[in-house]
Chain A
Amino acid sequence: MAVVAYNAPQSVEEAIDLLATLSATSAATSAATSSATSAATSLATSTTRARLMAGGTDLIIQTKSQSTEPVLVVDLKHIAEMMSCDLGAAGLSLGPSMCCAEFTAQAGVRDVYPGLVEAADLIGSTQVQGRASIGGNLCNSSPAADTIPALIAVGAQCLIVSAKGERTVAVEDFVTGVGRNCLQPGELLKRILIHRPAAGSRDAYLRFIPRTEMDIAVAGAGVSVTLDQQGICTAARVAIGAVAPTALLVAQAAAALVGTRLDEAAVAAAGAAAAAAASPITDRRGTADYRRQIVAVLVKRATNIAKQRAQASL
């Protein structure tokens, strides 16, 4: 890919108009893309593909690869609505292009969604966090994305807009494959919506990397648990990353936790269920067997952290 043109719409409407005028004739291979026609923009040629850019930490690297396919970059950081973050009584409404460093510094989010903040805090270096966004992490749809399991654990929803209107998709249904998601040509991820957790409900995210920083997750686990006053787990969501083509919501792992006091046996069972659900690959970052073992450990440890937080929130 080679960036041949750049456009920075100032509003969601302008972005949608731009995307709508780009022909949807060639099905995009990456979901955050559309085909551009020369009519759409004087900058682009008929073979130019549009790529939506938030932080650009993945996109700019991808455009440096050898392929010379021309690309129109649509920069989504000039749209105020996509850069804001609102935490209210109902929950969180997050502009997908807000950079992780800004998100993690937002008042209150660390108390309410500690696991999601942990995940956003883990993406790359301080420098990368100054650019990379949760929406970008989601739309890049890497199996190893840190925020995706964390978003699934807290039941996040994607608010998607296009010229045709709006629709809402759960994060676990948003990503459809390695680097693929359900965004259709002309569509835009406008907001990420998360309900406010009740008292007794909190999340945690852990990932495993060989170093302490700067690596891509070998495996990741986002866990959210809800405890009643007696300390019984009444609800749980367990999501795992980097162990399958997409992050997985593991119902069997949650089932192992619900109804228990999150004792050692229950937590170990949740870990085992997560390992069983994983279908990891072997690559330069870890073997399939190793990933399977590690994801069980991460689910166990993340559950214990979430449990402590949930207890503290009661």
Chain B
Amino acid sequence: MSEAQNFKYIGRNTIRPDGFDKVTGRANYGADLTLPGMLWGKILRSPHAHANIKRLDTSKAEALAGVHAVATFADFSAVGDEAIEGGEGSSTLLDLARNILARDKVLYHGHAVVAIAAKTAAIAEQALALVEIDYEILTPVLDVRTAMAADAPLLHNDLYTQNGADKATTPSNVAARHEFKMGDVAAGFAAAEIIVEREFYTPTAHQGYIEPHACTVRFDKDGQSMVWCSTQGHFDVRASTARLLGMELGKLKVIASEIGGGFGGKTTVYLEPVALILSRKSGRPVKMVMNRDEVFKATGPGSASRSWIKLGAKKDGTITAMQGSLAYEAGAFKGSPVMMGCMTAFTPYAVPNMLIEGFDVVVNKAKVAAYRAPGAPQAEFAVEMLVNELALKLGRDPIDLRLQNAAKEGTQTIYGPKLKRVGLVECLEAARDSKHYQQALAANQGRGVAAGFWFNVGGQSSVTINMNPDGTGTIVEGSPDIGGSRASMQMMAAEALGIAPALLKPIIGDTENVAFSAGTGGSRTTFATGMAVIEAAEDVVRQMKQRAASMWNVTAEQVDWVDGVAVNTAGEDRLSLASICAGADRTGGQISGRGNINARGAGPSFAVHVCDVAVDQETGKVDIVRYTAVQDAGKAIHPAYVEGQFQGGAVQGIGWALNEEYVYGASGLLENAGFLDYRIPVASDLPMIDAIIVEVPNNFHPYGVRGVGESGIIPPLAAVGYAVENAIGAAVTDLPLSPPRVLQLVQDRG
């Protein structure tokens, strides 16, 4: 693609095509579907963090009038221990089943044990109270340090540490050890004139989407079963659910409802297979909706982490070595994103000597799920804090020091490839030149700068564009629209077709009316599904040219396509898209374009944030005074929604840095499973978030797109963290920087 393309529609802030439904309340989300004869399903959850199930008796519950079906792990007894794809983490089918309904052990507070479908939700709840369970309570393991100790109680007697190709012979809570290295760190540190190192902690943090998990399902023996649910990937829901229930893919239709936020947390299944079992047993449709307490207790948060990072540099600012060790909580089953942490931690820097190891550790907490750039914020927080310390000790501006060491095109990454063209330098320059960065700080204020790297992914996407006789069209795609992606699909198709965006209606097809598409995750939708949209649109154009050519008795090669009009280069003829569609019955039937791809070449998106805080030194309370988020979008298809991704990521990161954390009691019970005490930022906590879009095109996308969804959550942890460090003059190591912790730091400083 050329450097500067002239776009007709791309880059405009259009009104999103699904907007009307969303501002009027007409849009239907996961909990909004009711079917005739529908039952309500409810789940009984563990009151303990770690216990053996000695006896489970559901007979009294089953006998209650109005109860139609009961499900337990026994309904998954045929499930084997095979690896599964999908979502954004690695797992096995058996672990998935055991997370959905506990087998012989409950492994966290809120772990599902029994599900009941009844005529009303109230009856289902009464029935849950009649279930009899005898637990043998075990010591909970609540932190990676205790979990990794030699004498730690084991969650799983059959979990052995995988270390590269080697597998340990004694069971452990450490599921895996990963290592990445390049160069010679010992030599790198030997060459250093200044070394900084520190240990850090980040807490368990939840995605905090406002819509709880919900589904309505109907099992039909004739093979017309369907699941309506809120998910980031309905093809993944189909795959997991069908395998857990032993169904053929073609006999299960999954419809993605509108989705009320996900951030990675809706890339796996919790309710859907259970609801379908209840429907199969009862012969009735079943609806299940989690309450907020269940969402916090039993759906995947992001990993808590402990990390140690060490950096070495020369006095001229050249970083010579970076080393680290990460341990991430996976929750009750293996599969934390620690490997992603290892791969991203040092990637903003062009440094020859790097070594990092990561441990995937099971603990008695809810199994983690992907959370926006899964694994990266925890690791990059630690590194960015130390880069700021390095700048302070070297007497250098933190942006200037980063520019000196910034990764750029050709930089070797620790995980294998050299970087293609990336925009870190441009982001750093834009941050440096921002009005914010020129502003002076007042008393009790501090400033932090941090960079963030996320790979972004491509993968499979399928799109069909069906034209109508009046020249309008429907774009059928398979990527649930979680933040406005239908608007960008509409614009990319319009650009490729040369017609106004409003003539095209993008819809999310169900698993039967569009071919396989990977879920909305990895910042892939605008990039990969966008490429499929463009390919489908180009397919439409190709056919338009053929139809025009056949009408003009020329070859298709002699037809140009200019602004939605076929032009005969061998004559004066013109035919608009609308007129070709109107006459399609005479040229071979109506036109559909197809784009089924496996997208390669996703472009990393770097972000740089600047944060100013004010600290109340008597209470430890931190206020965000100014905030600027700079990020490389490659090409912003819809700039307002690109800014929205930067701002939303920044604020989730601010919440993680300041107040969000799971609070567990000594017995492992979660004490703050609600929005009252799991404190996500509210409107009055924040200033405006200045968003600066940098556009360094990704040459693998026809319009230069990079995904923008995830990188924005990475820098805030250290931008806020170091701003506090800068304001109070004491080293920050642990998040969140809640008032008690900050006051303690202030008082310990003296």
The residues of A with any CB-CB pair to B shorter than 8 Å are: 2, 66, 68, 208, 210-216, 218, 283-287, 290, 293-294, 297
Contacts and interface: CB of A to CB of B under 8 A. Distances in A.
Contact of A216 (B129, B676, B685, B738): B676
Interface string B101-140: 0000000000000000000001001100100000000000
A212 B655 CA distance: 13
A211 B676 contact: no
A212 B685 contact: yes
B743 A211 contact: no
A211 B129 contact: no
A213 B671 contact: no
B659 interface: yes
Interface in B630-672: 658-659, 663, 671-672
Given A68-B126, A284-B663, A208 B739 contact: yes
A125 to B, nearest CB: 9
Given A211-B685, A212-B682, A283-B671, 6 more contacts: A210-B659, A210-B738, A211-B659, A214-B679, A215-B676, A287-B740
A284 B669 CA distance: 12
Given A210-B621, A285-B677, A293 B685 contact: no
Interface string B674-696: 01110101101100000000000
Interface in B728-747: 738-740, 743
A290 B740 CA distance: 6
A286 B671 CA distance: 12
A208 B619 contact: yes
Contacts of A285: 677
Contacts of B684: 211-213
Contact of B682 (A208, A214, A294): A214
Nearest to A291: B740
Given A66-B129, A284-B663, A294 B672 contact: no
Contacts of B677: 215-216, 284-285
Nearest to A219: B619
B173 to A, nearest CB: 26
Contacts of B671: 283-284
A286 B677 CA distance: 11
A284 B679 CA distance: 11
Contacts of B621: 208, 210
A205 B115 CA distance: 48
B618 interface: yes
> Nearest 9 A-B pairs (CB), nearest first?
A212-B684, A290-B740, A284-B663, A284-B671, A297-B618, A284-B672, A213-B684, A210-B659, A212-B685
Contacts of B129: 66, 68
B682 to A, nearest CB: 5
B682 A297 contact: no
A293 B122 CA distance: 45
Contacts of B738: 210
Interface residues of B, number: 24
A70 B618 CA distance: 47
Contact of A211 (B125, B126, B682, B740): B682
6 contacts: A210-B738, A211-B681, A212-B684, A215-B679, A284-B677, A290-B739
Dominant secondary structure of chain A at its interface with chain B: loop
Contact of B740 (A66, A213, A216, A286): A286
A2 B684 CA distance: 35
Nearest to A287: B740
Nearest to A2: B122
A211 B618 contact: no
A215 B659 CA distance: 11
B234 to A, nearest CB: 31
A208 B618 CA distance: 11
Interface string B490-532: 0000000000000000000000000000000000000000000
B630 to A, nearest CB: 26
A297 B675 CA distance: 27
A225 B316 CA distance: 61
A150 to B, nearest CB: 19
Nearest to B129: A68
A274 B670 CA distance: 32
Interface string B615-626: 000110100000
Contacts of A66: 125, 129
Contacts of B672: 284
Given A211-B681, A213-B682, A297 B676 contact: no
A239 to B, nearest CB: 19
A287 B738 CA distance: 12
Nearest to A296: B618
Most A CB contacts (10 A, CB to CB) among B126, B658, B675, B679 go to: B679
A297 B125 CA distance: 46
Given A68-B126, A208-B619, A214 B740 contact: no
A285 B125 CA distance: 30
A1 to B, nearest CB: 13
Contacts of B743: 290, 293
Given A290-B740, A290-B743, A293-B743, A214 B618 contact: no
A53 B679 CA distance: 28
Contacts of A294: 619, 739
B685 to A, nearest CB: 5
Given A285-B677, A297-B619, A210 B663 contact: no
Interface string B171-202: 00000000000000000000000000000000
Most A CB contacts (10 A, CB to CB) among B619, B658, B743 go to: B619
A70 to B, nearest CB: 12
A297 B618 CA distance: 7
Contacts of B682: 211-214
A68 B123 CA distance: 11
Contacts of B675: 214
Nearest to A294: B619
A18 B54 CA distance: 49
A210 B618 contact: no
Nearest to B747: A293
B618 to A, nearest CB: 5
Contacts of B739: 208, 210, 218, 290, 294
A241 to B, nearest CB: 16
Nearest to A125: B682
A68 B127 CA distance: 12
Given A287-B740, A290-B740, A214 B676 contact: yes
Nearest to B291: A64
A158 B743 CA distance: 38
Contacts of A286: 740
Contacts of A216: 676-677
Contacts of A215: 676-677, 679
A294 B618 CA distance: 8
Most A CB contacts (10 A, CB to CB) among B621, B659, B681 go to: B621
Contacts of A211: 659, 679, 681-682, 684-685
Nearest to B661: A284
Nearest to B659: A210
Nearest to A67: B129
A94 to B, nearest CB: 27
